[in-house]
Structures are given as C-alpha cells and as structure tokens.
Amino acid sequence: MALATRERILEAAGTALLRNPNATVDHIAAEARVGRATVFRHFGSRAGLLRALASRAIAETDRVTRQAAAHACTATDALRLVTRAVVGAGEFFRFLDSAAELQDEPEIAAAYRRQISELTDLVGAARREGFIRPEVPTAWVVASIDGLIWAASRAVGDGELGVVQAQDLVWETIANGLSTERTRT
C-alpha cells in the first residue's frame, strides 16, 4: 500500500509540475488525493519529492534505452530505437526542463553526464558503421540529438505532436541532417 501511495504521489507530482513548475506540496498532495503530511512522510520535503521524481525519470530512461538497444542489430538501429524509446518516455522526464533547482544535484548531474556519455558512444558506433557524416563533430551530433529529444518531449507535452509523430520527426531529422544517407525514413 505504501508503494502504491508513493507511486501515486510521484505520478501526481509529474503531472502537476508539467502544468505548473512551481506547484506546491499542497497542490501535489491534492492531485494525489493524499494529505500534505503523507507527501512529507514519503519524501521529507518538496526538494526530496523532486529528487525522487528525477531519480525515477533517470531509471525509466535507462530502462527504455537498455531495452531498445537490446533489440537492435546494428549501432545505427540502436540509435534509432533508443531515440524513439527516450522520446516515448518523455512523460517521465519532461518536468526536468523547468526544474532548475535539480540541475545542481550531484547525483542527477552525474546520471545525465553518464547518459550523454552512453549516447556519445552510440553515436561513435553509428559513425563507424558509416551512418553519421564524418565531417560533423560528435559533440554536435550528441547535442543535436539531445536537443531534439527535449524539443520532442516539450511538443508532446504541449499537445502539439503525438508521441509517434514526435518519434518519427526526431529520427527523420537525424537521418536527413546528420547521416550520410540523407533519406526520409
């Protein structure tokens, strides 16, 4: 029961923070249909709740990327599947875009650096396969993909795009702008 309550609070916090990045614990508690004291009992503070939500987002992103990469036959296919998976999981991390106070959290910053390092390795492998244009610096490719994922997440969250459309647009942008193939896929 406690785990279900904790998850309900995290779900409510994610939803509330997407609508209003300054949502109070009272508002989040009301959205989760629990008392304010219950939120504090589970998370200690609003900052603790945000850290737990960020940790959940990191874990979910790691889970979907591992799962996607496991089904790939090539590094290029892994890059396609991973970007689709991360865009699909945007609901878990979209709130981080407006949670500036979390950017100074060492654990969260370290996880983000690790994820970017993993993306860099994947881009390098796709480049060795001949998919990524050799004249485009790896750092630019990685920053572009990261930016596309955030833009897609924001567009989905704002109701401008559906998840599948956003996934397709991210990959088409990568394939047409960064790849040696430059074909619509």
CATH number assigned to the domain comprising residue 21: 1.10.10.60
Looking at residue 181, its pLDDT comes to 76
Do residues 68 and 24 both lie within one domain?
Answer: no
| Res. 183 pLDDT band, cuts 50 70 90 | low
- Are 39 and 60 members of one domain? no
Specify whether 59 is located in the same domain as 150.
yes
User: What value does the mean pLDDT take over residues 111-126?
Assistant: 95
Domain shared by 58 and 111, yes or no: yes
Q: Which residues of 126-151 are buried (b: 16+ CB within 10 A; e: fewer)?
A: bbeeebbeeebeeeebbebbbebbbb
Q: Same domain for 60 and 111?
A: yes
Q: Taking 60 as the threshold, does the pLDDT of residue 185 lie above it?
A: no
In sequence order, what are the beta bridge partners of 94? none
Q: Residue 104: give the domain boundaries.
A: 50-177
Six token digits for residue 88: 């699909």
pLDDT grade for 168, boundaries at 50, 70 and 90? very high
CA angle 11, 89, 16 (to 5 degrees): 30
- Domain limit, last residue, from 9, 29, 44: 44
Looking at residue 65, its pLDDT comes to 93
* Percentage with pLDDT > 70 across the chain: 94
pLDDT at 2 over 80: no
Residue 6 lies in a domain: yes
Q: Is residue 185 part of a domain?
A: no
Q: What is the mean pLDDT of residues 110-126?
A: 95
Please indicate, yes or no, whether residues 37 and 60 belong to a single structural domain of this protein.
no
- Which CATH number goes with the domain that contains 64? 1.10.357.10
Pair 62, 118 in one domain: yes
Residue 183 in domain: no
Instruction: Find the mean pLDDT for residues 3-19.
Output: 87
Q: Are both 2 and 70 inside the same structural domain?
A: no
Cα–Cα distance between 64 and 38 in angstroms, integer? Answer: 30
Per-residue pLDDT tens over the stretch 142-162: 999 999 999 998 899 889 999
* 132 strand-pairing partners: 179
Query: What's the mean per-residue pLDDT of the chain?
Result: 90
The answer to the question of residue 123 being in a domain is yes
Q: Quick one: 25 and 86 in the same domain?
A: no
What's the average model confidence in pLDDT over 123-147?
96
Same structural domain for residues 75 and 16? Answer: no
Q: Does residue 64 share a domain with residue 24?
A: no
Banded model confidence at residue 184, pLDDT cuts 50, 70, 90: very low
